[in-house]
Amino acid sequence: MYIYTNKIFHKHTSLIFTLLGAASASIAFLIQRLSETYYPSMRDVVVYFAIVLFAIFGAIIGKMIYELHYMAMFDFLTKLGNRWYFNIRLTQEIERNRRGCYSVCVAAIDVDNFKQINDQLGHYAGDAVLVNISNIFRKYTRNLDVVARWGGDEFVIIFPDTDIRSSLEITNKLKDVVLESEECGIATVSIGVVAIDRDWDKKQVIREVDLMLRAAKKTKNSVVSLA
């Protein structure tokens, strides 16, 4: 699934290396001072500590910018991309499809029986089901696929460089794994899949895949496609 990887490491790397650099410079400064090989002036000391502080503040600001960007693009509960992230990636894939680079398919997914789970077991149980289903999607999709939470109990997936047959194989696998998962309880998924036509814009893609999803929801735990 296409998503930031090792986000915890990347989020703190710049800050960690800045602090390590500042600590190393401080130690070197003290060693030189203790060995009496260097006697800095007050101006040197002020400049040195100003540079260290600016470096630390820069790393902290960079970390904050990363976190704000992540929160804007990804769903807090499932850690999948959110609707905004999906729309950005869909626009990119539509453009590639129009240039004839490759075929693109899109799936819309709805969790069956989700209201019943919330009503009978509570919203914490409902959240747990969403997380478990998200983990299944993350595990059984490919690195190039774009998996996102559309909102509530609905998910969307973009399958770049994939024909309708391969997309149906993946979505049927997702449906079966959710059905067999004990962690998902009584939840199943209904899935609509479309192959994007080169004349479609983003609104039409969403409209067409939503129609397929509605057809799938009539029987529940099914996959309906439009080639």
The pLDDT of residue 69: 66
- The yes-or-no verdict on residue 35 having pLDDT over 70 is no
Q: What's the pLDDT tens digit per position in 190-213?
A: 999 999 999 999 999 999 999 999
Tokens of 163: 């024909």
Residue 2: per-residue pLDDT? 45
* Contact present, 187 and 129 (Cβ < 8 Å): yes
123 pLDDT more than 60:
yes
Q: What is the pLDDT of residue 18?
A: 57
Residue 69 half-sphere exposure toward CB, CA atoms < 13 A:
10
User: Angle, to 10 degrees, between the axis of helix 164-180 and the axis of helix 123-140?
Assistant: 140
Share of the chain above pLDDT 70, in %: 76
Superfamily of segment(s) 83-226 = Reverse transcriptase/Diguanylate cyclase domain (3.30.70.270)
Average pLDDT for 75-79: 93
Beta bridge partners, 189, equal 111
Q: Is the pLDDT of residue 127 over 80?
A: yes
Structure tokens at 128: 């747990």
pLDDT given for residue 27 in this prediction: 56
Neighbours of 31 (CB within 10 A): 11
Say if CB 84 and CB 69 are below 8 A apart: no
pLDDT tier at 175, thresholds 50, 70, 90: very high
**Mean pLDDT of all residues in 70-79:** 84
Which of residues 47 and 12 earns the better pLDDT score? 47
The better pLDDT of the pair 91, 67 is held by 91
Query: Could you tell me if 167 and 103 are in contact, meaning their C-beta atoms sit under 8 angstroms apart?
Result: no
Higher pLDDT, 72 or 173: 173
What CA–CA distances, in Å, run from 75 to 155, 174, 226? 11, 20, 28
Q: Count CB neighbours of 100 within 10 A.
A: 8
Half-sphere exposure of 214 (CA within 13 A, CB side): 6
For residue 119, count other CB atoms closer than 10 A to its CB.
10
